[in-house]
A and B are shown apart, each in its own frame.
Chain A
Amino acid sequence: MNTALGRLVRTELTLMTREPLTLTFVFIFPVVTMLIIGGAFGTKPDVAFDWVNPSHWYVASYLTVVIAATGLIMVPVHLASYRERGVLRRFAAAGFPRWSFAVAQLVTGLVAVAAASAVLLAVAAPTYGLPSMHHAAGVVVGFVLGALAFVSIGVLLGTVLPSARSAQAVGLVLFFPSFLLGAGGPPPYAMGSALRTVAGYLPLTRVTDAVRDAWLGVGTATGSLLVVGALAVAATALAVRRSAL
């Protein structure tokens, strides 16, 4: 791991653990909101939750809150601050391979998603119990593609937004509607038709549908999975291109 790429990945992972914004939004926020919302609707299966225990419905939804927090807040703020301060210029001048920074960002983002998801499940298991997984492969594919898509969207945002402050502002504006309508807020059943239409267009809703439906066995979500897959391919290709040193 003493290649330039290995050193860059290791350094980025170390720095991630020292970033308060990451720890707050990616590791703490999803857990706290899951505990609040997941506990608010009780455990009795309900029509609003496709006749599933509401706590379990939220446990299966909240993995994508982690994905959104990583892709819409952590990655763009990190990258925009690097650009703003000339860190990338320094990496480029030091002869780091052209694609190494893009790879390091994708790896760091995916590791953050995996670690924060593990924390989330570790808190959910003793509190609400983990719902049994109906289509494990569907969950894994939806989760991985969704994470890849959102981390790549984060890299793209970071290459477009001029400063860490603007990335934070734009990130929060994108994150909260996605979070409330597409993953961790009220169930679609409780939304008005206008909100439900808006939610249907949010990429995060598609990721959540793909993961939750496969997990709880309430649908196949093939359409959502295809959309997420296409998004992942397009966003990753663009992100790698844009973040070449």
Chain B
Amino acid sequence: MTDTAVVVVRGLRKSYGSRAVVDGVDLDVHAGEIVGLVGANGAGKTTTVECVQGLRRPDAGTLRVLSLDPVAQPERVRALVGSQLQSSALPDRLRVGEAVRLFGGRDGNELLEQFGLAERRRSAFASLSGGERQRLFLVLALVNAPRLVILDELTQGLDPAARRNVWAAVDQLRADGTAVLLVTHELDEAERLCDRVVAMRAGRVLDCGAPRDLVGRHGGAVRICFTLPGDMMSRLGPGQLKALPGVEDVSYETSALTMKGSRAAIAHLGAALASAGWVPPDLSVQMPSLEDALVDLLERAGPAPGLHTAEPALPELTGALR
């Protein structure tokens, strides 16, 4: 553990009945870092963050949040963590301004302005649109200037403009040195925002790393397409191209050439084209995204090795009320 570690989780386990929902998860989040927890429904993401927040008691494993133990001191941990929870609401007749004062003890005007809710200060929660509710939850998560923010399905129900606005706010949190734990099944969001991504399936961590490293490991081939005129075929036919380092596959159809290969193949192809004297005007390179890299991995049918399939976690809670 370094001194910037905000969240340290080792060997976290949690079962509901005989179902292992989280099965040996390790997780670190540092100050000024955005870590994404990605996976399909039932992967154990939400249960993991609920344990981090002290909302659930783990069966095994150690947890430290801002050097506190969320099992022994759940109230202190919760007071230091800002969170935007999945599937929870506010009282229908509670007004926006009242909610901010209730959760933050202050009027939070600058946050309401930032998220476009200043005009809605006197509106009841029930009258807010889905996007407005989501933005209000974000304001409530940030109103106490927490050192760790947990965002669960952050941009669900937001239109593209609001989504960009929220992403900018999360970027700003990182710049301010806040640690952010982002739970999402939207891989484009994880790729855009996260410094590191932890991919989970059936309660286990499959892989973790920077988005580009995960793409490198699981993303498959780069796809390059360009026009190759027939008179070039003698100097630069599919046979020669296939011999270039990093190239895996070449197909040619009525002067349209498609190549698949590693990232290194791009440079070798460029060099070969230039030395042959052909600069294709329509060359396009398609890089695999995080979604391309992880979607099969995360949503592969059947359990991870040695595991029972974990169904979506029900809101079973430790206290009688929750």
Contact = CB atoms under 8 A, between A and B. Distances in A.
A and B physically associate: yes
- Residues of A in contact with B, size category: 20 to 34
Interface in B27-81: 53, 55, 75, 77-81
B132 to A, nearest CB: 16
A137 interface: no
Given A11-B94, A15-B93, A244-B319, A89 B105 contact: no
B23 to A, nearest CB: 24
Contacts of B320: 159, 242-244
Contact of A2 (B55, B75, B77, B105): B105
B102 A90 contact: no
Given A7-B102, A85-B88, A242 B94 contact: no
A126 interface: no
B315 A86 contact: yes
B209 to A, nearest CB: 29
B75 A89 contact: no
A89 B317 CA distance: 9
Interface residues of B, number: 29
Given A98-B75, A159-B321, A86 B98 contact: no
Given A92-B55, A92-B319, A19 B93 contact: yes
A243 B320 CA distance: 7
Given A8-B102, A244-B319, A86 B140 contact: no
Given A88-B321, A89-B315, A245-B322, A95 B88 contact: no
B89 interface: yes
Interface in A28-53: none
Interface in A196-245: 242-245
Contacts of B308: none
Interface in A120-141: none
Interface of A: 2, 4, 7-8, 11, 14-15, 18-19, 82-83, 85-90, 92-95, 97-98, 101, 159, 242-245
Interface of B: 53, 55, 75, 77-81, 83, 85, 87-91, 93-94, 98, 101-103, 105, 140, 315, 317, 319-322
Given A88-B321, A95-B80, A244-B319, 16 more contacts: A7-B102, A8-B102, A11-B94, A14-B98, A82-B91, A83-B321, A86-B89, A87-B89, A90-B89, A92-B78, A92-B319, A93-B55, A94-B103, A95-B78, A242-B320, A244-B320
